[in-house]
Amino acid sequence: MRTKRQTVFKLLKKTPMKYPFKPFFGGIGSILFMHKVVEDKTDEPRIELMKANEISVRFLEEMILSLKNQYDLISLDQVEARLKNPEAHQKKFIVFTFDDGYRDNLALAYPIFKKHQVPFTIYITNCFPNKTAKLWWYMLEDIILENPSLIINQSKATMKFKIKTFIEKERAFMSVRTLLIQKSLAERNEILFQLQEQYDKNLSDYIENETLSWDDIKELSHDELVTIGCHSMNHLALNTLSVEEIKKEVLQSKEQLEKNIGKPVIHFAYPYGTKHEVAEREINLFESMNWFNTATTSRLGNIQPGHHSALNHLPRIQILGDEQDLEILDLYLYGMIPAMKNGFKPVVKI
Protein backbone atom coordinates (compact mmCIF):
# COMPACT_ATOMS: atom_id res chain seq x y z
CA MET A 1 0.00 0.00 0.00
CA ARG A 2 1.45 3.35 -1.09
CA THR A 3 1.49 6.01 1.64
CA LYS A 4 0.36 9.58 1.08
CA ARG A 5 3.97 10.75 1.43
CA GLN A 6 5.19 8.28 -1.17
CA THR A 7 2.49 9.46 -3.58
CA VAL A 8 3.55 13.09 -3.12
CA PHE A 9 7.21 12.21 -3.61
CA LYS A 10 6.41 10.30 -6.78
CA LEU A 11 4.87 13.48 -8.20
CA LEU A 12 7.71 15.71 -6.98
CA LYS A 13 10.35 13.51 -8.64
CA LYS A 14 8.93 14.43 -12.04
CA THR A 15 9.26 18.17 -11.58
CA PRO A 16 12.38 20.21 -12.42
CA MET A 17 11.43 22.57 -9.59
CA LYS A 18 14.00 21.00 -7.25
CA TYR A 19 16.88 22.79 -8.98
CA PRO A 20 15.97 26.41 -8.04
CA PHE A 21 15.91 25.38 -4.37
CA LYS A 22 19.54 24.26 -4.33
CA PRO A 23 21.28 27.67 -4.07
CA PHE A 24 19.05 28.73 -1.19
CA PHE A 25 18.29 25.55 0.74
CA GLY A 26 20.87 22.99 -0.45
CA GLY A 27 23.49 24.45 1.87
CA ILE A 28 27.16 23.52 1.90
CA GLY A 29 26.64 20.01 3.25
CA SER A 30 24.26 17.47 4.73
CA ILE A 31 24.41 15.15 7.72
CA LEU A 32 22.44 11.99 6.99
CA PHE A 33 21.22 9.64 9.68
CA MET A 34 19.98 6.08 9.82
CA HIS A 35 19.20 3.49 12.47
CA LYS A 36 19.15 -0.08 11.19
CA VAL A 37 20.40 -1.91 8.11
CA VAL A 38 18.72 -5.14 6.98
CA GLU A 39 19.61 -7.71 4.34
CA ASP A 40 16.39 -7.27 2.38
CA LYS A 41 13.15 -5.39 2.80
CA THR A 42 10.18 -7.73 3.22
CA ASP A 43 6.47 -7.39 2.47
CA GLU A 44 5.37 -8.64 5.88
CA PRO A 45 3.01 -6.30 7.78
CA ARG A 46 4.93 -3.66 9.70
CA ILE A 47 4.20 -0.33 11.34
CA GLU A 48 5.32 2.35 8.87
CA LEU A 49 7.61 4.13 11.34
CA MET A 50 9.38 0.88 12.11
CA LYS A 51 9.86 0.11 8.41
CA ALA A 52 11.15 3.65 7.88
CA ASN A 53 13.94 3.06 10.40
CA GLU A 54 15.37 0.20 8.34
CA ILE A 55 17.27 0.49 5.07
CA SER A 56 18.48 -2.38 2.92
CA VAL A 57 22.12 -3.29 2.37
CA ARG A 58 21.58 -2.89 -1.37
CA PHE A 59 20.24 0.65 -1.02
CA LEU A 60 23.03 1.66 1.37
CA GLU A 61 25.66 0.69 -1.18
CA GLU A 62 23.77 2.30 -4.07
CA MET A 63 23.50 5.50 -2.05
CA ILE A 64 27.21 5.59 -1.17
CA LEU A 65 28.25 4.99 -4.79
CA SER A 66 25.88 7.66 -6.09
CA LEU A 67 26.84 10.31 -3.54
CA LYS A 68 30.55 9.55 -3.87
CA ASN A 69 30.42 10.83 -7.47
CA GLN A 70 28.77 14.13 -6.54
CA TYR A 71 29.88 15.09 -3.02
CA ASP A 72 32.80 15.00 -0.61
CA LEU A 73 32.07 12.19 1.86
CA ILE A 74 33.71 13.35 5.08
CA SER A 75 33.79 12.45 8.78
CA LEU A 76 31.94 14.36 11.47
CA ASP A 77 35.33 15.55 12.75
CA GLN A 78 35.77 17.59 9.56
CA VAL A 79 32.46 19.47 9.68
CA GLU A 80 33.66 22.31 11.90
CA ALA A 81 36.60 23.02 9.58
CA ARG A 82 34.32 23.01 6.53
CA LEU A 83 32.03 25.53 8.21
CA LYS A 84 34.94 27.82 9.05
CA ASN A 85 36.11 27.95 5.44
CA PRO A 86 33.28 26.85 3.10
CA GLU A 87 34.65 28.78 0.11
CA ALA A 88 37.71 26.51 -0.01
CA HIS A 89 35.65 23.58 -1.26
CA GLN A 90 33.83 23.28 -4.56
CA LYS A 91 31.75 20.25 -3.62
CA LYS A 92 29.08 20.00 -0.97
CA PHE A 93 29.90 17.51 1.81
CA ILE A 94 27.97 14.51 3.11
CA VAL A 95 28.33 12.93 6.57
CA PHE A 96 26.84 9.51 7.37
CA THR A 97 25.62 8.83 10.91
CA PHE A 98 23.76 6.02 12.71
CA ASP A 99 21.77 6.42 15.91
CA ASP A 100 21.55 4.13 18.95
CA GLY A 101 24.02 1.29 18.30
CA TYR A 102 22.36 -1.63 16.55
CA ARG A 103 24.42 -4.75 15.86
CA ASP A 104 23.72 -4.59 12.13
CA ASN A 105 25.76 -1.38 12.00
CA LEU A 106 28.80 -3.62 12.46
CA ALA A 107 27.59 -6.77 10.71
CA LEU A 108 26.03 -5.20 7.61
CA ALA A 109 26.85 -1.51 7.30
CA TYR A 110 30.51 -1.47 8.34
CA PRO A 111 31.73 -3.84 5.56
CA ILE A 112 30.18 -1.56 2.94
CA PHE A 113 31.72 1.62 4.35
CA LYS A 114 35.05 -0.21 4.66
CA LYS A 115 34.84 -1.47 1.08
CA HIS A 116 34.38 2.05 -0.27
CA GLN A 117 36.62 3.73 2.34
CA VAL A 118 33.87 6.09 3.49
CA PRO A 119 33.80 7.44 7.08
CA PHE A 120 30.74 7.25 9.30
CA THR A 121 29.64 7.87 12.89
CA ILE A 122 27.67 5.70 15.31
CA TYR A 123 26.02 7.54 18.20
CA ILE A 124 25.89 5.04 21.06
CA THR A 125 23.09 4.86 23.61
CA ASN A 126 24.95 3.25 26.52
CA CYS A 127 22.01 1.15 27.69
CA PHE A 128 22.40 -0.81 24.43
CA PRO A 129 25.86 -2.28 25.14
CA ASN A 130 25.04 -2.31 28.87
CA LYS A 131 22.09 -4.58 27.98
CA THR A 132 19.78 -2.50 30.16
CA ALA A 133 17.84 -0.98 27.26
CA LYS A 134 14.16 -1.57 26.90
CA LEU A 135 13.50 -1.77 23.16
CA TRP A 136 9.85 -1.02 23.76
CA TRP A 137 9.15 0.02 20.16
CA TYR A 138 9.61 -3.59 19.01
CA MET A 139 7.36 -4.91 21.74
CA LEU A 140 4.74 -2.25 21.06
CA GLU A 141 4.74 -3.10 17.35
CA ASP A 142 4.29 -6.81 18.08
CA ILE A 143 1.46 -6.19 20.54
CA ILE A 144 -0.39 -3.92 18.11
CA LEU A 145 0.04 -6.24 15.12
CA GLU A 146 -1.03 -9.33 17.09
CA ASN A 147 -4.12 -7.96 18.87
CA PRO A 148 -7.52 -6.44 18.00
CA SER A 149 -7.45 -4.03 20.95
CA LEU A 150 -5.01 -2.29 23.28
CA ILE A 151 -5.59 -1.01 26.81
CA ILE A 152 -3.19 1.07 28.90
CA ASN A 153 -4.21 1.85 32.48
CA GLN A 154 -2.83 5.06 33.96
CA SER A 155 -3.45 6.68 37.32
CA LYS A 156 -5.62 9.44 35.86
CA ALA A 157 -7.01 7.85 32.74
CA THR A 158 -7.29 4.61 30.78
CA MET A 159 -6.30 4.57 27.12
CA LYS A 160 -8.30 2.19 24.95
CA PHE A 161 -7.63 1.51 21.28
CA LYS A 162 -9.58 -0.56 18.78
CA ILE A 163 -6.87 -1.87 16.45
CA LYS A 164 -8.56 -4.21 14.01
CA THR A 165 -7.65 -2.33 10.82
CA PHE A 166 -4.10 -1.39 9.81
CA ILE A 167 -4.94 2.31 9.90
CA GLU A 168 -6.11 1.89 13.50
CA LYS A 169 -2.91 0.02 14.33
CA GLU A 170 -0.76 2.82 12.84
CA ARG A 171 -2.61 5.49 14.82
CA ALA A 172 -2.42 3.52 18.05
CA PHE A 173 1.34 2.95 17.65
CA MET A 174 2.01 6.67 17.14
CA SER A 175 -0.23 7.66 20.07
CA VAL A 176 1.41 5.25 22.51
CA ARG A 177 4.89 6.12 21.20
CA THR A 178 4.24 9.81 21.92
CA LEU A 179 2.95 8.92 25.38
CA LEU A 180 6.01 6.84 26.25
CA ILE A 181 8.52 9.40 24.97
CA GLN A 182 7.04 12.14 27.13
CA LYS A 183 6.92 10.06 30.32
CA SER A 184 9.63 9.99 32.96
CA LEU A 185 11.75 6.85 33.13
CA ALA A 186 9.79 5.54 36.12
CA GLU A 187 6.42 6.23 34.51
CA ARG A 188 7.49 4.66 31.24
CA ASN A 189 8.76 1.53 32.98
CA GLU A 190 5.47 1.20 34.83
CA ILE A 191 3.54 1.22 31.54
CA LEU A 192 5.98 -1.18 29.90
CA PHE A 193 5.72 -3.63 32.80
CA GLN A 194 1.95 -3.49 32.47
CA LEU A 195 2.13 -4.21 28.73
CA GLN A 196 4.51 -7.15 29.28
CA GLU A 197 2.19 -8.72 31.82
CA GLN A 198 -1.00 -8.06 29.93
CA TYR A 199 0.20 -9.29 26.53
CA ASP A 200 2.66 -11.99 27.63
CA LYS A 201 5.82 -10.30 26.35
CA ASN A 202 9.38 -10.08 27.66
CA LEU A 203 11.39 -6.97 26.86
CA SER A 204 14.64 -8.83 27.49
CA ASP A 205 14.00 -10.93 24.40
CA TYR A 206 14.38 -7.88 22.18
CA ILE A 207 17.81 -6.72 23.29
CA GLU A 208 19.95 -9.85 23.02
CA ASN A 209 20.18 -9.98 19.23
CA GLU A 210 19.72 -6.34 18.31
CA THR A 211 22.45 -4.27 19.97
CA LEU A 212 26.20 -3.77 19.77
CA SER A 213 28.28 -5.08 22.66
CA TRP A 214 31.15 -3.16 24.22
CA ASP A 215 33.58 -5.46 22.40
CA ASP A 216 31.83 -4.61 19.12
CA ILE A 217 32.13 -0.89 19.85
CA LYS A 218 35.81 -1.22 20.71
CA GLU A 219 36.41 -3.11 17.47
CA LEU A 220 34.71 -0.39 15.44
CA SER A 221 36.54 2.41 17.26
CA HIS A 222 39.92 1.00 16.20
CA ASP A 223 39.15 1.86 12.56
CA GLU A 224 39.86 5.48 11.60
CA LEU A 225 36.81 5.42 9.35
CA VAL A 226 34.54 5.06 12.39
CA THR A 227 33.70 7.83 14.84
CA ILE A 228 31.98 6.87 18.07
CA GLY A 229 29.56 9.51 19.31
CA CYS A 230 27.40 9.91 22.39
CA HIS A 231 23.60 9.48 22.47
CA SER A 232 23.04 9.55 26.29
CA MET A 233 22.78 6.73 28.81
CA ASN A 234 19.13 5.77 28.42
CA HIS A 235 17.79 7.54 25.33
CA LEU A 236 15.37 9.73 27.29
CA ALA A 237 13.82 12.85 25.82
CA LEU A 238 15.89 15.61 27.41
CA ASN A 239 12.93 17.96 27.74
CA THR A 240 11.42 15.53 30.29
CA LEU A 241 14.50 15.83 32.55
CA SER A 242 15.77 18.47 34.95
CA VAL A 243 19.06 20.19 34.17
CA GLU A 244 20.85 18.03 36.73
CA GLU A 245 19.32 14.89 35.26
CA ILE A 246 20.44 15.93 31.76
CA LYS A 247 23.99 16.44 33.02
CA LYS A 248 23.97 12.98 34.57
CA GLU A 249 22.50 11.31 31.45
CA VAL A 250 25.04 12.96 29.15
CA LEU A 251 28.23 13.01 31.21
CA GLN A 252 27.92 9.42 32.43
CA SER A 253 27.45 8.34 28.83
CA LYS A 254 30.44 10.32 27.61
CA GLU A 255 32.72 9.12 30.41
CA GLN A 256 31.73 5.47 30.02
CA LEU A 257 32.23 5.58 26.26
CA GLU A 258 35.65 7.19 26.60
CA LYS A 259 36.70 4.63 29.19
CA ASN A 260 35.65 1.74 26.96
CA ILE A 261 37.19 2.91 23.67
CA GLY A 262 40.17 4.81 25.09
CA LYS A 263 39.46 7.89 22.98
CA PRO A 264 37.77 11.27 23.49
CA VAL A 265 34.09 11.33 22.52
CA ILE A 266 33.40 14.78 21.10
CA HIS A 267 30.12 14.41 19.18
CA PHE A 268 26.57 14.07 20.48
CA ALA A 269 23.11 13.34 19.02
CA TYR A 270 20.04 14.39 21.01
CA PRO A 271 17.70 11.46 21.75
CA TYR A 272 14.66 11.76 19.46
CA GLY A 273 15.99 15.21 18.58
CA THR A 274 12.91 16.95 17.16
CA LYS A 275 11.67 20.40 18.17
CA HIS A 276 9.40 18.66 20.67
CA GLU A 277 12.34 17.21 22.65
CA VAL A 278 15.11 19.75 21.99
CA ALA A 279 14.42 23.44 22.49
CA GLU A 280 16.10 26.58 23.78
CA ARG A 281 16.77 25.25 27.30
CA GLU A 282 18.58 22.15 26.07
CA ILE A 283 20.57 24.02 23.40
CA ASN A 284 21.65 26.74 25.84
CA LEU A 285 22.78 24.12 28.34
CA PHE A 286 24.95 22.35 25.78
CA GLU A 287 26.45 25.65 24.62
CA SER A 288 27.26 26.75 28.16
CA MET A 289 28.75 23.41 29.23
CA ASN A 290 30.87 22.95 26.08
CA TRP A 291 30.76 19.15 26.37
CA PHE A 292 31.07 18.38 22.65
CA ASN A 293 32.42 19.84 19.41
CA THR A 294 29.09 19.14 17.68
CA ALA A 295 25.59 18.09 18.65
CA THR A 296 23.06 16.98 16.06
CA THR A 297 19.27 17.02 16.12
CA SER A 298 16.63 15.25 14.04
CA ARG A 299 15.32 18.52 12.66
CA LEU A 300 15.16 18.33 8.91
CA GLY A 301 17.60 20.55 7.05
CA ASN A 302 20.89 20.91 5.23
CA ILE A 303 23.98 22.49 6.75
CA GLN A 304 24.18 26.22 6.00
CA PRO A 305 27.20 28.56 6.41
CA GLY A 306 25.45 30.07 9.44
CA HIS A 307 25.80 26.80 11.31
CA HIS A 308 29.40 27.74 12.18
CA SER A 309 27.83 29.42 15.24
CA ALA A 310 25.21 26.71 15.79
CA LEU A 311 27.36 23.61 16.22
CA ASN A 312 25.25 22.46 19.17
CA HIS A 313 22.06 22.02 17.15
CA LEU A 314 22.93 20.88 13.65
CA PRO A 315 20.05 19.57 11.50
CA ARG A 316 20.12 16.20 9.77
CA ILE A 317 18.27 14.29 7.06
CA GLN A 318 16.95 10.84 7.88
CA ILE A 319 17.36 8.15 5.24
CA LEU A 320 13.95 6.54 5.38
CA GLY A 321 13.57 2.86 4.59
CA ASP A 322 10.12 3.25 3.12
CA GLU A 323 11.47 5.58 0.41
CA GLN A 324 14.55 3.71 -0.84
CA ASP A 325 14.94 6.02 -3.83
CA LEU A 326 17.96 8.10 -4.85
CA GLU A 327 15.76 10.59 -6.71
CA ILE A 328 13.81 11.25 -3.54
CA LEU A 329 17.10 11.72 -1.66
CA ASP A 330 17.97 14.43 -4.19
CA LEU A 331 14.79 16.28 -3.21
CA TYR A 332 16.21 16.49 0.32
CA LEU A 333 19.79 17.32 -0.62
CA TYR A 334 18.74 20.00 -3.09
CA GLY A 335 16.69 21.54 -0.30
CA MET A 336 13.24 21.25 -1.82
CA ILE A 337 11.64 19.07 0.87
CA PRO A 338 13.39 20.82 3.80
CA ALA A 339 12.22 24.18 2.44
CA MET A 340 8.62 23.01 2.10
CA LYS A 341 8.60 21.42 5.55
CA ASN A 342 10.23 24.38 7.32
CA GLY A 343 8.16 27.20 5.89
CA PHE A 344 10.82 28.10 3.32
CA LYS A 345 13.35 29.01 6.02
CA PRO A 346 16.79 27.41 6.47
CA VAL A 347 17.07 25.55 9.80
CA VAL A 348 19.82 27.46 11.56
CA LYS A 349 18.36 29.12 14.66
CA ILE A 350 16.09 27.44 17.17
Q: What gap in Å lies between CA 326 and CA 323, rounded to an integer? A: 9
Q: What is the pLDDT of residues 241-270, one digit of tens each?
A: 999 999 999 999 999 999 999 999 999 999
Confidence bin at 348 (pLDDT 50/70/90):
confident
- Report the first-to-last Cα separation within the chain, whole angstroms: 36
List of domains in the chain: 4-132+225-341 (3.20.20.370), 136-204 (no CATH)
Confidence of residue 30 (pLDDT cuts 50, 70, 90): very high
Predicted pLDDT of residue 1:
43
**Residue 245: CB partners within 8 Å, gap ≥ 6?**
none
